[in-house]
Amino acid sequence: MARAALQRLHLRFVRTGGIFMGNRLETEVDADDLGESDAAIVRDTIARVDLQRLAGASGSGTGADEYQYDLTVQRGPDQVVHLRFDETRVPAELLPLVDVLVRRAEEQRRRS
């Protein structure tokens, strides 16, 4: 098994903004702690996407009432990438990952 496959994949996701104040949504998770289907989506997306390139292109727009997404991906102890996008600028290749993280954060909020 490749060394990269053995590294811990940890994600921190925060969604802020939107029409209503106080609509913060966040989750922090290791890919190993997700269900099989969600873990596969997360791992596949992270493996396919050039996160460094996206981090360089990330930013936020000026749209009022848009959600702002902050995503930190940590692979192993030394590889950390932070991305920031507003809802109209989320790269298409990250949409499945964002959907998984939003769903997880919403589930956690309902349980608390």
The string of pLDDT tens digits covering residues 49-96 is 999 888 877 665 556 678 899 999 999 888 999 999 988 889 999 999
Provide the residue type at 31 as one letter.
A
Q: Is the pLDDT of residue 107 over 70?
A: yes
Residue 110: HSE in the Cβ half-sphere, 13 Å Cα cutoff:
6
User: Rounded mean pLDDT of 12-29?
Assistant: 86
Q: Tell me how far CA of residue 70 lies from CA of 7, 65, 73, 83, 90, in angstroms.
A: 22, 16, 10, 6, 10
Q: Go through the chain and tell me how many residues it has.
A: 112
Percentage of the chain beyond pLDDT 70 is: 86
